[in-house]
A and B are shown apart, each in its own frame.
Chain A
Amino acid sequence: MTKTGNHARNEQDPQNLAPEPQSTGGTTRREFLGATIQTSGAFIIGCLINGKIQILEAKSQTPGETKKLPLDAWVRIARDNKVTIVVSQAEMGQGIMSTLPAVLAEELGADWDHVQLETSGANVAYRNPRINFQFTGNSESTMSFFELMRQVGASAREMLIAAAADKWRVDPSACYAEKGMIIHRKSGRKLSFGELAEAAKSKPIPANPPLKQQSDWKLLGKPLPRVDNPAKVDGSAVFGLDFKVRGMLYAAVRNCPVLGGKLKSIDRSSVEGLPGFVDVVAVPGGVVVVGATYWQARTALDALKVTWDDGDGARFSTDTIMEQYRQAMAGQDWLLVREVGNADMIQHSYPNVRLAAAPDKTDKVPARAVDSYANLYSGEFESQFLAHAPMEPMNATASVTSDGCEIWAPTQGQELAQLMVAQFLGIPKEKVAVNRTFLGGGFGRRLIADFVLQAVAASKAVGKPVKVVWSREEDTQHDVYRPAVRNRITVGLDSDGKIAAVSHQLVSPSILQYVAPSPLPDNYDPSCLEGLQGTRYKIPNVRVDFHLLKAGVPASTSVLRTTGYGPNIFATESFADELAHHSGKDPYDFRRDLLRDDPRALAVLDLAAEKSDWKKPPQPGVFRGMAFTEAFATIICQVVELSVSGTVVTVHRVVSAVDCGTVLNPNIAANNIEGGVAWGLSAAFKSEITFAGGKTVQSNFHDYQVLRLSEMPRVEVYFVDSGARPLGGTGEIGPVAVVPAVANALFAATGQRYRSLPLSRHGFQLRASRETYAQ
């Protein structure tokens, strides 16, 4: 199957030595646009070989319908039986351009081998139905689009069946769809989708089309090969960096080195006349040099002399920033964001300030706060600043003309980019077309459109299409970082060693500030609190207090794979292990007791214990650690096996048991979890962003270290099909529990607790795991 989708494709290069590109079966003008409802206006997104991009206006033709599904925004059927399914979610490695179209095709009864994919533009039709905003992130594409894709596929199928039943003068219920045909059950008569498409388009869209039983699934639940893989093993997949448009120039970027500073002046003479030099342009965040080729632009940028206004930023360092965290943790300024049972069961010296009453901070410290426990334990945890470091550095291509603006970008945030560009140029958003390419990793970084605006500014200045390319150094030093997070947990145990009360205190800068579709209160951020706002564990008394750190962090902070779950679950699951130890219980049994009334959670916990041989002693010198959590609506338990020699750690094996409700594609889901383990090990052992003199210290992969192949342990992934809905995500859950599982295994090995990350701070380094990798 050659189903790479018509992501943005390059015009033929004058001296292209690549083989002729494989046909992607791009949409052609001859295609019959029907079978569903809207027939006006072909929309061909980001497909230069097919001509100018048009943006679909999504509207329903059936105002009387209770459900207004813009079916043709999602699926079209041509006379030649070709079924076109639109991919609304950015493909950044998580496999979503294979998974969601298969959901639609499953319900439709399409022949998967004759389905072709098309990449969506920025359009309200493709908004996440849960959040009403078009984006890809938060591990929620399957969660939010699964039911919609089923509805769309089933509706189109019912319309095709209605058309066939008309022709055959039979009851529609006597017909079914399979492999691109409508079949009359009794007589075996068949009509192809293409033959029925025209008649089907006039049929009403059913309000509640019947949905397939899981047992009847032909595509879902099977390890269907990813549709994007062929193009990813022959070099033909077009990422943002690879996209070309006629007459395009290249721009190399220098952002203001001191975070929060700005451009003061440009010495144009330092670059004028250099080979290929076209222009030097002030852009949001810094300056770009535009050249005929990237290397010429880059070489000129290296010669460019600019002066910066550092502003306040230069006085910041990691030490000054973390001092703000420590002061906040020691202070009285807390927002009480969660109460279970009696929030005052643990003594505290600060007022109970609730979100609804946030402006009034005059609450007295309650007198009834108590802390009479057999044992009271408290621990503080710190997670580090992290960079996303996707393999493809930030880049975007923009063409600004008098008619508007067109963007081709590896973006997770098409709508945000559209809105930001419209605002930046002062034009209506309808005049901003945002086309999506493949993303060379996203991890949350590409939700933000800072790099897109730079391409727009450059194109506007030079009057030609411009591709802006960040160097790895710019990408590392001007990321929007996962903020450092401090957690304090205080737990009272009763005389049986059971948890009686828990108090969490969390200090974090905002995560959602740049990506929230609607404004947040200035002291609250739900993403920071992920993992603390609910737990599967049965604990009678819980309070969670939050301090949103505003001043003192000059670096931009936002979402990064695992978001708030990462640091918070590192703290809670490390501490769960500590409590098990304090109460003399096996960490698995301790968790079993906390989950005793939760069969779904127990199934995951037990599966991980079984597959990791938890109850059997590991080989001599090997130690295990466990962690369990729910995140992104998925439940996971991970067991790490490692050995320690001095400060050198070898991670041998990681077992993951996962319940995301129902696995739509076990191959893709397992790959996500396996990769998540690698991501978690990078965060646990290797990666850290620090600041000095207002600048990011790290600049490239030599000092912002990530996991290498030799350090990758054996990974095993097992799924539980609980059938729970909504579906959980698998893109970000993988790294969440592996980090505390590592810390817990390190305790088992060394008897020491390591409560701050990365573990390289404590002198640990990873060693190749190959000696245990025998196959």
Chain B
Amino acid sequence: MEKSHFTVNGKSVELEIDPATPLLWALRDHLGLTGTKFGCGIGQCGACTVILDGNAVRSCQVKVSRAAGKNVTTIEGLSSDRSHAVQRAWLMEQVPQCGYCQSGQIMSAVVLLASNPSPRDSDIDDALSGNICRCGTYHRIRKAVHRAAELARKEEKGA
């Protein structure tokens, strides 16, 4: 066992686990961050999406050793009160049904908006088509991403 040091949601952590353990299971079973979901295990569904040094990654495909020294943000780290623009937009558009995929959808949207504050539909397609929603909330996800962009732009202005 080796020790892996990295930062999760702004807190530094040290895990003494098999370095080949996927980041997904390190987050869920060792750090108690169960908002990040297991869906497919092969990077096909996006339910496990987290932010690793600014990039949206499928945490089922990232060995915990690869996170060493890096910053990981999970759904729990977006805000303590659902105040992140994407979370607010998700609530305003009443996006979730079963909700299982939504952590991953939200994290993909957060990364998209960080680099593209006014995404077109095609940008949303490119950023979120790796996130499956089996309930089929895609129509609302698309609306919510536009809404989040609008909220974030307003925040920017107000700041």
Residues on A lying within 8 angstroms of B by beta carbon are 10, 12-19, 91-95, 223, 225-226, 228-239, 241-242, 250, 275, 293-296, 299, 389-393, 438-443, 469, 471-473, 667-668, 671-672, 674-679, 700-702, 706-710, 712, 714-715, 768, 770, 773-775
Contact = CB atoms under 8 A, between A and B. Distances in A.
Label chain B's interface by main secondary structure.
Answer: loop
B59 interface: no
A250 B141 contact: no
Interface string B100-142: 1111001000000000000001101110111111111111111
B99 A232 contact: yes
Q: Which 10 pairs, one residue from A and one from B, show the smallest C-beta to C-beta distance?
A: A235-B35, A678-B136, A13-B32, A440-B100, A232-B99, A93-B97, A93-B98, A675-B136, A235-B75, A242-B34
B48 to A, nearest CB: 11
Nearest to B25: A295
A178 B79 CA distance: 36
Interface string B133-156: 111111111100010000000000
B25 A294 contact: yes
Contacts of A13: 31-32
A17 B138 contact: no
A293 B25 contact: yes
A717 to B, nearest CB: 10
B76 A18 contact: yes
B98 A441 contact: yes
A223 B102 CA distance: 21
A638 B146 CA distance: 27
B27 to A, nearest CB: 9
A241 B42 CA distance: 18
A294 B13 contact: no
Nearest to B136: A678
A234 B146 contact: no
Nearest to B15: A15
Given A14-B32, A234-B35, A706-B134, 10 more contacts: A15-B13, A17-B13, A19-B76, A92-B98, A226-B94, A239-B100, A391-B45, A709-B128, A768-B122, A774-B121
A17 B32 CA distance: 7
A651 to B, nearest CB: 12
B129 to A, nearest CB: 4
B137 A671 contact: yes
26 contacts: A93-B96, A95-B97, A225-B91, A229-B90, A229-B94, A232-B99, A234-B78, A234-B82, A293-B29, A295-B18, A299-B18, A391-B39, A392-B39, A438-B99, A440-B99, A441-B98, A441-B100, A671-B97, A672-B97, A674-B139, A675-B136, A706-B134, A708-B130, A709-B142, A712-B138, A770-B122
A186 B102 CA distance: 50
A241 B38 contact: yes
Label chain A's interface by main secondary structure.
Answer: loop
B8 interface: yes
A714 B139 contact: yes
A648 to B, nearest CB: 16
Contacts of B97: 93-95, 671-672, 675
A93 B135 contact: yes
A468 to B, nearest CB: 13
Contacts of B76: 17-19, 234-236
A475 B42 CA distance: 14
A701 B138 CA distance: 17
Which residue, A235, A708, A710, A775, has most C-beta atoms of chain B within 10 A?
Answer: A235
Nearest to A665: B94
Interface of B: 8-9, 11, 13, 17-18, 21-22, 25, 28-42, 44-45, 47, 74-80, 82, 87, 90-91, 94-103, 106, 121-122, 124-126, 128-142, 146
Contact of B87 (A91, A233, A668): A233
Nearest to A712: B138
Nearest to B130: A708
A295 B37 contact: no
A102 B38 CA distance: 32
B87 A709 contact: no
Given A768-B125, A774-B121, A712 B98 contact: no
B91 A233 contact: yes
Contacts of B82: 230, 233-234
Nearest to B89: A233
Given A10-B32, A18-B35, A295-B25, A232 B125 contact: no
Given A10-B32, A234-B82, A392-B100, A706 B132 contact: yes
A664 B137 CA distance: 20
Contact of B40 (A441, A443, A472): A472
Contacts of A275: 18
A14 B13 CA distance: 12
Given A18-B35, A671-B94, A707 B138 contact: yes
Contacts of B28: 242, 294
Contacts of B106: 233
Nearest to B105: A709
A439 B98 CA distance: 7
A464 B35 CA distance: 25
B144 to A, nearest CB: 10
B100 A675 contact: no
B121 to A, nearest CB: 4
Given A295-B22, A391-B133, A706-B134, A229 B35 contact: no
A16 B32 contact: yes
B39 to A, nearest CB: 5
Contacts of B34: 10, 235, 238, 241-242
Contacts of B146: 775
A229 B25 contact: no
Contact of A712 (B30, B77, B91, B139): B139
A610 B100 CA distance: 36
B64 to A, nearest CB: 10
A242 B34 CA distance: 6
B42 A472 contact: yes
A773 B142 contact: yes
Given A16-B32, A233-B90, A674 B136 contact: yes
Contacts of A250: 29
A16 B31 contact: yes
Contacts of B11: 17
Contacts of B134: 389-391, 441, 443, 679, 706
Contacts of A675: 97, 133, 135-137
A537 B45 CA distance: 42
B77 to A, nearest CB: 8
Nearest to A250: B29
Contacts of A679: 134-136
Contact of B80 (A19, A390, A667, A702): A19
Contacts of A242: 28, 34
Contacts of A17: 8-9, 11, 13, 31-33, 76-77
Contact of A15 (B9, B30, B94): B30
A708 B13 CA distance: 35
Nearest to B39: A391
A438 B98 contact: yes
Contacts of A715: 139
Nearest to A734: B136
Contacts of A473: 41
B113 to A, nearest CB: 15
Contacts of B103: 235
Given A17-B32, A391-B45, A675-B135, A667 B94 contact: yes
Contacts of B41: 471-473, 700
Nearest to B35: A235
B18 A710 contact: no
A106 B27 CA distance: 42
B18 A229 contact: no
Nearest to B126: A710
A273 to B, nearest CB: 15
A236 B33 contact: no
B132 A230 contact: no
